[in-house]
Chain A
Amino acid sequence: GAVVSQHPSRVICKSGTSVKIECRSLDFQATTMFWYRQFPKKSLMLMATSNEGSKATYEQGVEKDKFLINHASLTLSTLTVTSAHPEDSSFYICSAPGGAFGGTEAFFGQGTRLTVV
């Protein structure tokens, strides 16, 4: 199946700094990437959809200026948490639709645990 690689798996940063999370599709081209946030014991909440070559689409309530998404190529999407605060601490996960392989399931990255101190 398709492989989506997410990096870093864990990051600790100070309040006010920015953190970049990368998501790569290793063996297929992903024109679309989804970015989710997951709180403990809660479901995945879609934050935004990144599209290669165009602006990302953000879900209602997600601050565009705080969560910068760039889909630089057909294999790379990045999420930058700017001016991070402790309330931004969470588990962030990216995924790519499996349509490239003829299916409709999404393939997920390993996730990034962000802790803002």
Chain B
Amino acid sequence: EDQVTQSPEALRLQEGESSSLNCSYTVSGLRGLFWYRQDPGKGPEFLFTLYSAGEEKEKERLKATLTKKESFLHITAPKPEDSATYLCAVQAVDNDMRFGAGTRLTVKP
């Protein structure tokens, strides 16, 4: 069965303290792995799509990487406005999309 596990469940950082969020997955045929940001009371906002192992994508302070078993979202020198829940989702070749429970990131000034 396809599974997506995100860790840690919650992460508190000081402003400027870099860290990484993990997304471990098992899927029968990966079509794509997605990272989303979700603010409280809002719908998820698309960040990245990764398609194959070794692929990396960057956007401002965020960098996403992918292996055959997991993906990391690296946050470099985070700012308080980076505080949000970060969701990982995998899409199988049958187009089913499965979401992880998310990592709640809090960045303190």
Contact = CB atoms under 8 A, between A and B. Distances in A.
Interface of A: 1, 4, 6, 9, 34, 41-44, 46, 91, 93, 95, 97-98, 103-111, 113
Contacts of B32: 104-105
Judged by DSSP, the binding face of B is: strand
Q: Which 8 A-B pairs have the closest CB atoms?
A: A108-B43, A43-B101, A111-B43, A43-B99, A44-B99, A108-B44, A104-B32, A110-B43
Interface of B: 4, 31-32, 34, 36, 41-46, 49, 87, 89, 91, 95, 97, 99-102, 104
Contact of A43 (B34, B43, B45, B100): B100
A82 to B, nearest CB: 23
16 contacts: A1-B46, A4-B43, A6-B43, A9-B41, A43-B100, A44-B44, A44-B87, A44-B99, A95-B44, A98-B46, A105-B32, A105-B34, A105-B46, A108-B46, A111-B42, A113-B41
Contacts, number: 52
B43 A93 contact: yes
Nearest to A104: B32
A96 B41 CA distance: 19
A104 B42 contact: no
Contacts of B101: 41-43
Contact of B97 (A42, A106, A111): A106
Most buried by A among B31, B100, B102: B102
Contacts of A43: 4, 87, 99-102
